[in-house]
Amino acid sequence: MSVVWSFSSLKTFEQCPRKYYHTKVAKDVVEPDTTATMYGKSAHTVAEEYIRDNKPIPPAFEYMKGTLDALNKLEGEKLCEVKLGLTKNLEACAFNAPTVWWHGIADLVVINRKKGLAHSVDYKTSKSARYADVKQLDLVACGLFAKFPEIKRVRSALIFTVSKEFVGAEHYAEMMPKYIEKPSQDVARIEAALKNGVWNPIQGPLCKFCAVKTCEYNRS
């Protein structure tokens, strides 16, 4: 059984298959926005409108200006909120195409066709880069290589706007199969769960905050 997946959906399954089932398969549970997620959405909008439209930054987000100005100085075409899709054959497709296998969104992409180089940025508003996961960058790089075949190298970064931390990685087009190898194995586990109908919960410290209230581990 085929699965359409993203980095965030893989993380949800890794955290708890039961939660994945209710939020991604049955879709009978909707995770509510929190103060943190709403703040993150606002910060993304501010960054997009500043770089794309040169819209002034609100005072509450003025601390982001230095970072965004540095990104604005990168040489190349700047594209905000780039929707990417891959088929199972690692060919480019639309974000919601019938053939899509993986999809994701790059917050900012700077394309330098002359150099065969792209910069890819994902903004993070968490307070620390302690739990940064560069596998998200691997997937976006794959999407960019497929969408822009003239690009042979991607410099990727998770930029933590609050703590002003930077977690970077460099990707090469010929390495696409390697970047996708581990996520493909994780997707196979989701496909097995779909086939078998087994979605075992995983107990952890975040259970009491989970939106799946019917789970035996949710004591909220």
For CA atoms 1, 184, 141, 137, give the dihedral sign: positive
Bridge partners of residue 158, in order along the sequence: 122, 167
Instruction: Look at residue 168 in the predicted model and tell me its pLDDT.
Output: 95
Measured in whole angstroms, the distance separating CA 7 from the mean position of its chain's CA atoms is: 5
7-209 CATH choice from 3.90.320, 1.10.1060, 3.30.70, 1.10.287: 3.90.320
Report yes or no: 181 and 174 within 8 Å, Cβ to Cβ.
no
Helices (H), the chain: 7-15, 17-20, 35-53, 65-72, 135-147, 176-196
- Note the pLDDT tens digit of each residue in 14-28: 999 999 999 999 999
Concatenate the DSSP letters of all residues of 21-71 into one string.
IIIIIS----PPP-HHHHHHHHHHHHHHHHHHH-PPPPGGGGGGHHHHHHH
The structural domains of the chain, with segments of one domain joined by +, span 7-209
Q: Name the helix (H) or strand (E) containing 172.
A: strand 165-172
Question: 46: closest CA among 64, 25, 28, 32?
Answer: 64
- Note the pLDDT tens digit of each residue in 155-213: 999 999 999 999 999 999 999 999 999 999 999 999 999 999 999 999 999 899 999 99
CA distance 151 to 141: 10
Report yes or no: 103 and 83 within 8 Å, Cβ to Cβ.
yes
Region 93-98: mean pLDDT is: 97
Strand pairing class (153-160; 165-172): antiparallel
Biggest alpha carbon distance in the chain?
56
Going by the DSSP 8-state scheme, the letter that residue 95 receives in this structure is T
132 vs 61, more confident:
61
For the cut 90, the answer to whether the pLDDT of residue 128 exceeds it is no
For the cut 70, the answer to whether the pLDDT of residue 220 exceeds it is no
Across 74-83, 121-130, 168-177, 178-187, least confident range: 121-130
% of the chain surpassing 90 pLDDT: 91
% of the chain surpassing 70 pLDDT: 99
Region 128-149: mean pLDDT is: 94
